[in-house]
């Protein structure tokens, strides 16, 4: 069985991986925002349903990434609470 120090170290390593994942998701959200702006500029004035659908899909993707970040924050909080109680 692992010692308390080993468990804490393993949780800390996992939390570092989560932090790296959060940074990647934030970078993806920034790129997604840039893509939305580029699409809006390129297709300004278009009344096509396909354009509206593309905008809606990009917005939905951004919302899902935001929800992912929230879920990750909850996981971090729970892991930190666990290790604080060891």
Q: Which domains does the chain have, with CATH numbers?
A: 4-84 (1.10.287)
Instruction: Report the pLDDT averaged over residues 32-58.
Output: 90
- For residue 15, is pLDDT > 90? yes
- pTM for the full model? 0.85
Q: Helix/strand/coil (H, E, C) string of the chain?
A: CCCHHHHHHHHHHHHHHHHHHHHHHHHHHHHHHHHHHHHHHHCCCCCCHHHHHHHHHHHHHHHHHHHHHHHHHHHHHHHHHHHHCC
Q: Express each pLDDT in 59-81 by its tens digit.
A: 999 999 999 999 999 999 999 99
Instruction: Report the pLDDT averaged over residues 43-61.
Output: 89
């Amino acid at each position: 069985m692992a010692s308390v120090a080993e468990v804490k170290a393993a949780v800390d390593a996992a939390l570092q991986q989560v932090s790296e994942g959060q940074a990647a998701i934030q970078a993806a959200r920034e790129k997604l925002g840039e893509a939305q702006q580029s699409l809006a500029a390129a297709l300004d004035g278009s009344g096509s349903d396909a354009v509206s659908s593309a905008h809606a899909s990009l917005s939905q993707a951004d919302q899902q990434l935001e929800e992912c970040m929230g879920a990750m924050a909850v996981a971090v909080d729970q892991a930190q609470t666990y290790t604080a109680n060891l």
